[in-house]
Chains A and B, each alone.
Chain A
Amino acid sequence: MVHFTAEEKAAVVSLWARVNVELVGGEVLGRLLVVYPWTQRFFDSFGNLSSESAIMGNPKVKAHGKKVLTSFGNAVKHMDDLKDTFAELSELHCDKLHVDPENFKLLGNMILIVLATHFSKEFTPQMQAAWQKLTTAVANALAHKYH
């Protein structure tokens, strides 16, 4: 089980409080679809994903990005209990959505990069390390129920 130090928790919580979940969520999912186009395979119903501007402006991408990041906010609240927190979502992603867990790592890295663009110098190596740990732990929790 992942252990977060008090400093790591404080760092994550303090930054999260300043995140515009709707805006950042859309950017995170958008970047995933732009930078790793093969991830578009899960979103045939989303309409126009034919260019960077189409993807970043797509209302379904924004809405789904917000949904995903809101769920991630749950991780911030339950950093000591991620496997249980994401058990149901893990089953969903395996049994219904059929998402390769590798994608959770890719999305996690997009979260980090978008945070970097928003917080700039404040996104220090230590802040990044705490968030890196969290996104990895969430990715593992989401993969935990796969069979």
Chain B
Amino acid sequence: MVLSPADKTNVKSTWDKIGGHAGEYGGEALERTFASFPTTKTYFPHFDLSHGSAQVKAHGKKVADALTNAVAHMDDLPGAMSALSDLHAYKLRVDPVNFKLLSHCLLVTLACHHPAEFTPAVHASLDKFFSAVSTVLTSKYR
């Protein structure tokens, strides 16, 4: 699966549109993931996962910042995400199925906040982008 030039344009313009809200959306996507897919909470036994949790907000910002970096380096995701790739493979070891769950909730979050921009084509590009990022993050698992 390859990101076409049109996909990259769609992803970049979405991220420009999001502007300073990326961190907030990251937190919301996490909250949605925990609410819809309770099994994902097993990776955060050390977190307060209640609504408005400062830990979830902070973690959401971390995830969003990593995605912002990925957007800036779409031509070399493996290179740009190498350290995070190592982290997920050797330390966090989040089961690969969970990346799809978070990706889906990121899409829902964006759809809620930017319905007009979230056209089918943009939706498809973002889905591909999150899928590519997930693949890189799980690429060193075995």
Could you tell me which A residues sit within 8 Å of B by CB distance? 30-31, 34-35, 52, 55-56, 109, 112-114, 116-121, 123, 125-126, 128-129, 132-133
Chain B contact residues: helix, strand, loop or mixed: helix
Cβ A121 vs Cβ B112 within 8 A: yes
Residues of B within 8 A of A133 (CB): 36
Residues of B contacting A113 in the complex (Cβ-Cβ under 8 angstroms): 107-108, 111, 118, 123
Q: How large is the interface on B (under 10, 10 to 19, 20 to 34, 35 or more residues)?
A: 20 to 34
- Chain A residues near B108 (CB-CB < 8 A): 112-113, 116, 123, 128
> Is the contact region of chain A dominated by helix, strand, or loop, or is it mixed?
helix
Q: Which residues of A contact B104 (CB under 8 A)?
A: 109, 112
* Interface pair B36/A125, CB less than 8 Å apart: yes
On B, residues with C-beta under 8 Å from A are 28, 31-32, 35-37, 104-105, 107-108, 111-113, 115, 118-121, 123-124, 127
Which residue on A lies nearest to B113, using beta carbons?
A120
Tell me how far the C-beta of A122 lies from the nearest C-beta in chain B, rounded to whole angstroms: 9
